[in-house]
Structure 1
Amino acid sequence: MSKQPSTPGAGPTWPGLELTPTWPDDPVKVGDFWLDGRVVTRPSGVAWAAHGDGLLHPTRQEETDPDHKVILVQLSEGAAADKAARDRFAGLVNQLHIDVVLARGGHEQDQGRLGRRFRNEDDDPVDPDEDHPLAPWVALAYAGDDGLVRLADDLLAQVDLLDLPHLGRPAGPDFRLHWIDRNRPGTNRIWPLPWPGRYDRAGWVTILVSWLLMLLMAAIAVIIAILVFRNAPPQAPPPQAGQTASPGGTGSATATLSPSPGGTPTATSSPSPSPGDTPSGGGTPTPPSRL
């Protein structure tokens, strides 16, 4: 009988183990394991308490038990980008007992004595920045004590070399790794939540349905725009300079000069008759006076 898939934030309890909450930069999931909290934080990487997702991997045809409690150790951004740090981490993992290493993954972690524990993640959601390889990680099977926490701290300490004693008499500047300040978590896969209540990766059906919905909404918006603007009344052009629109038709104003009592001519305007207008009073229209 298959078990129900586990969910983030609803993992097993960790009695006797001091956990701190995950940070905003921490991934939700690494490989096949949901992260429950931090247990070790060093410049070379982070160790989390984690549990299996309970899902069947489509490529390996292998299911990760949700009851599997692990201490997951992953290199930081700076250590994962350094070839020497990756090699030190891989060599330390290959020296561990095979029963301790439940799974491993990341860049250049499929070689050595425990290369059989490597889990391929090529069919998992991909990070947008594909130029940076996935950060190396290893999942250590938790046996109920804090011995694995000390082991995880020792692994990371041998990668960043900060706890090594001085050899000989100190002279000159201290040795400092060039990536020691880049201590953010390394590159991981992005696990979207495609639907409420679901915690597996989005399939092609979900992506196809989302695209069809987007096209449908765009078509409805175009149709609504056509229906709204097709019956709009036509707009008359604005009158040109020197012309005014008459109520009964099109008329123009003619400016004339007439003498004023003071002897100074003033300009007056009289509308010129339009073709459809008739003069009032029964007389003939007088021509405009001239100065």
Structure 2
Amino acid sequence: MSGPLQDEDPRQVGAFRLRERLSESPVGVVYLAHDAGGRAVSVAVLSEGAAADAAARDRFVAAVSRGVGVEGVPPRVLASNTRGGAAAWVAAEHGGGGAGAFLAPVSVGGGGGGGGAPGYAPYWAGAHAGVSSRWAWPRGGAGAAAGADPNSNRGVVIGLLMLLLLFLAMLVVLYLYLSGLHQEAGSRPTDLPSPGGSGSPSSPQPSPSGSQGPQDASPSPDPDASPSVEPGTQVPSVPLDEDDFTDSPVDPRDPDGLA
């Protein structure tokens, strides 16, 4: 009986997008799915108990690979996964028995010898008809990753590529900037010393401010100039003796010294 997908159901199996449940049993669940082109297919997934039973898993592999135990003509297998620890599943064309035909051989019970010997049922036959917990959609881990849509990783890949391109662009800009600085530093002239060694120091140029040196600070005295006496300055008087007048020259206008 068909019904909507449950929380433990995967949303993507391989390249097929699951849409709804077609049937369920202790062996597994059959889903209606669509491929990349929109074509309807059926996907059968082993239950958790059947996938953990080595004998049941071997019967499923034999039915998928060789059609062992499948009634009539086996449906054409579109894709399958029967290896490793992941949940086993098979996809077939929709219609008729579909992928559910591969689940029938898995549930075959063994009989006793004969007569009224009772048959037996696998230990997982009474378990819930859900798929393996590795496929649970809300949970993390490998099961959720296997059931996730591969297209959902496209955004992550595109984001990583954009970051890589941005990083490369930053490297190119940094290289061009450093190259410009190097060329600018190389174009500047540098003062190199003369090959003859250190030359004689150049004589200092006279200062245009007109400042005089120490030799020009005090003027040289003029021997012919008479000392000038500033007004108001007292002239010291020196007492003279009579002997000082004998050697004085005689004024021709007053030879007797009467004046």
TM-score range, shorter chain: 0.3 to 0.5
| Structure having the larger proportion of residues in strand | 1
| Structure having the larger proportion of residues in helix | 2
